[in-house]
C-alpha cells in the first residue's frame, strides 16, 4: 500500500525503492527448495470416523464400547479419547480422536479396525492424524509409485521336500541349540546351529512348521531353510506355551502378571501367529492354580488352561467351584460364544473331542445327585449323552485320536480305606452312544491309560499291591465287526460291540507307554525316577514283546514322525551325569549311543498330516515292495559312498605319511656333513664311519627236567 496524499498513513512494510510491500514478494520457489518435513509428533493419534451420533446421556457408554474395541491393540490413557460435540444440541459429531501410547499401536489400530462394522448401521473408518495433511497436499497429477522388488519368502515346509525323505530333530546342549538331519545308523547331518538361541527350552508347533524359542522378553517363532525369525510375541518371562491344532494361534503363560490398560493383572495371552497380534489376554484366579498368587515358586498349573477345538474355531477355559462354568470363545474375534458362559456347578475337568465340536466334562456327587459324565455339542449346547456314576472319588477323561471313543477312568470308594477303579468307554459313532464298562481284576488299580494313534487299541498300566505293575492291551471292537482274528462275533456281541482284552503282561519298572505315531508299535519305559528299562512291543492281533533294552536313568522317550526310530535320552535338567541319547529301531535294535555333556533336550520335528487320499495311500501300500527296493538301493549307494569316503581318507593319510618319511630322509641326508663335524666321524655305519658292530646271542631256557632212567 503506497502513500498517495499528505496525511494518509504509510504502511511500515512499504519499500519506496522497490515500490512494493513484503507481502507482494513471491517466496514460493525458495520455500519449495528449503522445505522441511517437520515431525508433528502426532504419529500416535488416529481419527475414527463413522461412529454413531449420540446425545450426552449415551456418550460414556459409547466411549466404553470404543475402548473395549481397541483394548487388545494398545494402551489408551484415561484422557486419550476426544470426541467433539455440537454446542447447540450436545450431540456427538460422529468422529473422535484416539491417542495411543506408541506410534506402532496407532499403525496397528488402522490396520485392524479400519472398515470395522460397529453395528448394523455404522462402519468405522480409521486413519492416522498425520495422514490428513499428507492427503491434503497430494499433487493434482498422478505419479506412479516405484515398484518395489519382489522378495520371495522362504517355504516354511521345505524340509518335507528332502530328496532322501529324512526327518529332523532339534537338540539343546548347554547354551547351544542345533538342528540335525537323521541318517539312520550314520552320523547325522547338521542343518543349523546357534548359541544362546533360547533362554529356556525349545518347542515345535504341532505340524512342525515353527520352532519356538523362549526369551525374557517373550516368544519367537523361527522357520524356513535359513531359520529366519518369523514372528515375535512380547510377553515377558513366558514359561509355558500351547499351539492351536492347526498352528493359527498360540497361548502363552507367565508366572509374573502384566498390567493392562484397565489396571487388571493378566497372566495368559492368546496371539494370532500370522499377524503377531495379541487377540486377548486373561487374568487367572489363584483358586484355579492350586495356590496363592503370592507363592510363585509353588504354583501348580493344569496346563493348558485354554483348550483348543480340533479346527481352531473355538478355545475354551474352565472355572471350577460352586459357580463353575465353561467359557467358549470364538476365533479370531475372541468374543464369548452367545455372549455367556456355560454354567456347570462344581465342574472338575473338561476336554474337547479331537474330531468335532463336542465337549466332555464331569461333575462330582452333590447331596442326592450322582456324579455325571456329560457330552455336549457346541455351539447348540445340546447334551447328546450323560452317564450317572456313584461313589466317585475322581475321574479322568481320555479321548481317542479320531474321536470315535471316550475313555473315562473312574476311581470309586470301595471301603473307607480302599478304592477301586474301572473304565467307562463311550462309543460316539454308534446309535445312542452306548457305554461299555471294563472292570479290572481284584486288587488292580489303573495308574494311566494310553490310546493308540490311528487305531482302536489302548494300553492300561495297572498296579497290583505295592510292588507289582502290569500292562494290559485292549481292543475296541465295533458293533457288527469281526474280531481281531477275522472271525464273526456272536449275535450278542455283534449287537452291542465289545471291549476285548488282548494281553496282560508283567511291567515291573515301567511307568510310561509311548505309542508309535503310526500305531501298532509301542515302547514301555521306566523313565524319570525309574531305572530306564525299555520294552518294544508289537500289538498287532496278538501283542508280542519284540525286544528289551536299557538306558540307565532315562528321562524321555521320543518316536520319530514315521514310526521307524525311537530316541531315549537322559536330560541334564533332571540327571547331572551320563547325559546323552540313544537311537533305536522300532523293533528295539540299538543303532547308536551318544554321550553328550550338558545335554538338555531332544525333540523330533513333527510332520503334517498326509495330503494323499485314502485311495492313493492304498495304492502306495500295494507298491510298497517297489518303493522299498528303491530305498534299499539308495541305502546301499549311501553305504558304498561312505565306505569309499573312508577308504579315500585312509589312502590320503598313507600318502601323507609316505611324503613325511621321504621329506625327513632327504633332510637327514643333507645334514650328513654337519653330523661329522659334531661327532668327528660319520655315526652311520653304512656311510663309512669307524664303527664296529657287535652281535650278542641270548639263550633262554624255557624249561628243564631231570629224569632218572632205570635200565
223-263 residue pLDDT tens: 999 999 999 999 999 999 999 999 999 999 998 888 776 66
pLDDT value of residue 380: 95
Look at 106-120, 361-375, 448-462 and tell me which has the smallest mean pLDDT: 106-120
Do the Cβ atoms of 319 and 325 come closer than 8 Å?
Answer: yes
- Distance CA(361)–CA(699), nearest Å, equals 94
Inside any domain, residue 108: yes
Strands of the 405-413 sheet, one edge to the other: 392-399, 405-413, 419-427, 435-439
Say whether the peptide bond before residue 379 is cis (omega within 30 degrees of 0). yes
Q: How confident is the model at residue 340 (pLDDT cuts 50, 70, 90)?
A: very high
* pLDDT given at position 260: 74
| Element (DSSP H or E) covering residue 326 | strand 325-330
For residue 5, what pLDDT is reported? 44
Average pLDDT estimate for 514-531: 94
CB atoms < 10 A from the CB of 96, how many?
Answer: 19
Rounded mean pLDDT, 304-321 = 95
Residue 152: pLDDT over 80:
yes
Please give the residue range of the domain that contains residue 59.
45-134
Res 136 pLDDT > 90: no
Lowest mean pLDDT among 258-262, 436-440, 514-518, 571-575: 258-262
In whole angstroms, give the CA distance from residue 663 to residue 525: 59
Confidence class of residue 710 from pLDDT cuts 50, 70 and 90? low
Which residues contact residue 485 at a Cβ distance below 8 angstroms, ignoring those fewer than 6 apart?
A: 541
Does a structural domain hold residue 461? Answer: no
Report yes or no on 139 lying in a domain: no
CA–CA dist 190, 171 (Å, integer): 11
SS3 (DSSP) at 555: coil
Q: What is the pLDDT of residues 51-63, one digit of tens each?
A: 999 998 898 889 8
Average confidence score pLDDT of the chain: 86
Q: Which residue has the higher pLDDT, 101 or 493?
A: 101
In a domain, residue 174? The reply is: no
Phi (first) and psi of residue 661, to 5 degrees: -65, -45
- 372 forms beta bridges with 363, 388
User: Can you give the pLDDT at residue 2?
Assistant: 46
- 10 Å CB burial of residue 515 (0-12, 13-18, 19+) is buried
Q: In this predicted structure, what is the pLDDT of residue 461? A: 96
* Distance of alpha carbon 544 from alpha carbon 432, whole angstroms: 36
**Predicted pLDDT at 15:** 61
Q: Is the pLDDT of residue 608 over 80?
A: yes
The pLDDT value given to residue 538: 97
Domain count along the chain: 1
- Asked whether 557 and 512 are in contact (CB, 8 A), the reply is yes
pLDDT band at 294 (very low <50, low <70, confident <90, very high): very low
Model pLDDT, residue 68: 85
pLDDT at 143: 83
Specify the pLDDT at position 284: 82
Residues 308-326 have a mean pLDDT of: 94
Average pLDDT for residues 564-576, to the nearest whole number?
A: 95
For range 134-140, the mean pLDDT: 79
- Which has more confidence, 496 or 353? 353
- Span 86-131, pLDDT tens digits: 888 889 999 999 998 888 888 888 888 888 888 888 889 998 988 8
More confident call, 309 vs 674? 309
Beta-carbon contacts of residue 709 (< 8 Å; ≥ 6 apart):
none
**Taking phi first (over 0 means left), then psi (-120 to 50 degrees means alpha), and beta for anything else, what does residue 500 get?**
beta
CA distance 240 to 268: 10
State the pLDDT at residue 292: 40
- pLDDT band, residue 14 (cuts 50/70/90): low
Lowest mean pLDDT among 493-507, 580-594, 681-695: 681-695
pLDDT category at 7 given cuts 50, 70, 90 is very low
Top-confidence residue, 3 or 84? 84
Is 27 inside any structural domain? no
Q: What is the pLDDT of residue 496?
A: 56
Model confidence at 295, in pLDDT bands (50, 70, 90)?
very low
Give the C-alpha separation, 554 to 524, whole Å: 12
Q: Looking at the predicted structure, is the pLDDT value of residue 651 above 90?
A: no
Could you tell me if residue 93 is inside a domain?
Answer: yes
Summarize the confidence of residues 478-497 as an average pLDDT. 56
CA-wise closest residue to 341 among 396, 379, 395, 284? 379
Flag the least confident range among 301-305, 591-595, 687-691.
Answer: 687-691
- Are 423 and 449 within 8 A, CB to CB? yes
CA distance 594 to 176: 16
Span 329-352, average pLDDT: 94
The listed range with the strongest mean pLDDT (11-15, 280-284, 465-469, 535-539) is: 535-539
| Spatial contact of 168 and 155, defined as CB atoms under 8 Å apart | no
DSSP E strands, 368-487 = 371-377, 383-389, 392-399, 405-413, 419-427, 435-439, 444-451, 457-464, 468-477
Among residues 425, 519, 509, the alpha carbon closest in space to that of 470 is found at 509
The confidence band for 293, taking pLDDT boundaries of 50, 70 and 90, is very low
- pLDDT reading at 11 higher than 70: no
- The reply to whether 85 falls in a domain is yes
Q: What is the pLDDT of residue 259?
A: 78
Confidence tier at 472 by pLDDT (50, 70, 90): very high
Nine-digit cell string for 304: 493348558
Summarize pLDDT for 348-360 with one digit per residue, the tens: 999 999 999 999 9
71 within domain boundaries: yes
Any idea which of 166-175, 362-371, 408-417, 551-560 has the lowest mean pLDDT? 408-417
Look up the CATH number of the domain holding residue 111: 3.30.70.330
Amino acid at each position: 500500500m503506497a502513500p498517495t496524499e499528505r496525511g494518509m498513513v504509510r504502511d511500515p512494510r512499504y519499500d519506496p525503492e522497490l515500490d512494493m510491500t513484503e507481502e507482494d514478494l513471491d517466496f514460493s520457489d525458495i520455500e519449495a527448495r528449503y522445505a522441511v518435513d517437520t515431525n508433528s509428533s502426532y504419529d500416535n493419534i488416529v481419527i475414527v470416523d463413522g461412529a454413531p451420533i449420540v446425545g450426552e446421556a449415551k456418550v460414556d457408554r459409547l466411549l466404553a464400547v470404543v475402548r473395549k474395541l481397541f483394548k487388545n491393540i494398545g494402551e489408551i490413557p484415561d484422557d486419550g479419547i476426544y470426541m467433539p460435540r455440537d454446542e447447540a444440541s450436545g450431540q456427538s459429531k460422529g468422529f473422535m480422536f484416539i491417542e495411543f501410547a506408541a506410534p506402532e499401536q496407532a499403525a496397528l489400530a488402522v490396520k485392524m479396525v479400519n472398515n470395522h462394522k460397529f453395528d448394523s448401521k455404522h462402519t468405522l473408518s480409521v486413519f492416522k492424524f498425520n495422514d490428513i495433511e499428507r492427503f491434503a497436499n497430494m499433487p493434482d497429477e498422478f505419479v506412479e509409485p516405484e515398484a518395489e522388488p519382489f522378495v520371495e519368502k522362504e517355504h516354511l515346509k521345505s524340509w518335507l521336500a528332502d530328496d532322501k525323505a529324512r526327518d529332523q530333530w532339534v537338540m539343546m546342549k548347554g547354551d547351544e541349540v542345533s538342528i540335525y538331519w537323521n541318517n539312520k545308523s550314520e552320523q547325522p547331518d547338521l542343518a543349523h546351529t546357534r548359541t544362546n538361541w533360547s533362554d529356556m527350552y525349545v518347542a515345535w508347533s504341532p505340524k512342525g512348521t515353527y520352532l519356538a524359542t523362549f526369551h525374557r522378553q517373550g516368544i519367537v517363532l523361527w522357520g524356513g531353510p535359513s531359520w529366519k525369525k518369523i514372528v515375535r510375541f512380547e510377553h515377558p518371562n513366558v514359561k509355558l506355551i500351547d499351539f492351536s491344532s492347526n498352528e493359527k494361534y498360540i497361548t502363552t503363560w507367565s508366572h509374573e502378571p502384566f498390567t493392562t490398560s484397565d489396571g487388571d493383572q493378566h497372566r495368559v495371552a492368546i496371539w494370532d501367529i500370522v499377524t503377531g497380534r495379541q487377540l486377548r489376554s486373561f487374568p487367572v484366579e489363584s483358586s484355579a492354580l492350586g495356590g496363592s498368587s503370592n507363592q510363585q515358586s509353588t504354583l501348580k498349573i493344569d496346563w493348558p488352561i485354554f483348550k483348543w477345538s480340533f479346527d481352531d474355531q473355538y478355545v475354551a477355559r474352565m472355572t471350577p467351584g460352586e459357580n463353575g462354568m465353561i467359557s467358549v470363545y470364538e476365533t479370531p474375534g475372541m468374543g464369548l460364544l452367545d455372549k455367556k458362559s456355560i454354567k456347570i456347578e462344581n465342574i472338575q475337568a473338561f476336554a474337547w473331542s479331537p474330531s468335532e465340536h463336542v465337549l466332555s466334562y464331569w461333575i462330582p456327587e452333590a447331596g442326592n445327585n450322582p456324579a455325571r459324565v456329560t457330552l455336549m455339542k457346541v455351539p447348540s449346547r445340546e447334551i447328546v449323552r450323560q452317564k450317572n456314576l456313584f461313589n466317585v472319588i475322581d475321574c479322568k477323561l481320555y479321548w481317542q485320536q479320531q474321536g470315535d471313543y471316550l475313555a473315562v477312568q473312574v476311581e470309586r470308594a470301595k471301603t473307607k480305606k480302599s478304592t477301586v477303579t474301572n473304565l467307562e468307554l463311550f462309543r460316539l459313532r454308534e446309535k445312542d452312544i452306548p457305554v461299555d464298562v471294563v472292570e479290572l481284576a481284584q486288587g488292580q488299580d489303573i495308574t494311566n491309560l494310553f490310546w493308540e494313534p490311528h487305531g482302536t487299541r489302548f494300553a492300561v498300566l495297572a498296579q497290583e499291591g505295592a510292588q507289582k505293575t502290569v500292562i494290559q492291551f485292549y481292543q475296541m471292537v465295533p458293533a457288527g465287526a469281526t474280531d481281531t482274528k477275522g472271525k464273526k462275533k456272536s449275535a450278542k456281541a455283534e449287537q452291542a460291540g465289545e471291549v476285548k482284552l488282548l494281553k496282560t503282561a508283567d511291567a515291573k519298572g515301567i511307568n510310561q507307554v509311548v505309542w508309535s505315531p503310526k500305531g501298532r508299535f509301542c515302547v514301555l519305559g521306566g523313565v524319570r525316577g525309574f531305572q530306564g528299562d525299555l520294552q518294544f512291543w508289537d500289538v498287532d492281533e496278538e501283542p508280542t514283546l519284540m525286544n528289551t533294552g536299557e538306558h540307565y536313568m532315562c528321562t524321555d522317550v521320543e518316536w520319530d514322525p514315521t514310526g521307524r526310530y525311537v530316541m531315549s535320552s537322559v536330560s541334564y535338567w533332571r540327571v547331572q551325569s551320563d547325559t546323552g541319547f540313544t537311537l533305536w529301531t522300532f523293533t528295539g535294535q540299538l543303532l547308536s549311543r551318544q554321550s553328550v555333556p550338558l545335554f538338555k533336550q531332544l525333540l523330533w520335528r513333527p510332520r503334517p498330516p498326509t495330503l494323499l487320499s485314502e485311495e492313493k495311500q492304498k495304492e502306495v501300500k500295494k507298491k510298497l515292495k517297489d518303493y522299498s527296493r528303491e530305498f534299499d538301493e539308495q541305502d546301499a549307494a549311501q553305504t558304498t559312498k561312505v565306505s569309499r569316503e573312508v577308504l579315500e581318507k585312509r589312502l590320503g593319510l598313507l600318502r601323507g605319511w609316505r611324503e613325511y618319511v621321504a621329506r625327513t630322509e632327504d633332510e637327514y641326508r643333507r645334514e650328513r656333513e654337519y653330523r661329522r663335524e659334531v661327532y668327528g666321524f660319520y655315526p652311520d655305519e653304512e656311510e663309512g664311519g669307524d664303527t664296529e658292530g657287535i652281535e650278542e646271542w641270548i639263550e633262554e631256557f624255557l624249561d628243564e627236567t631231570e629224569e632218572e632212567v632205570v635200565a
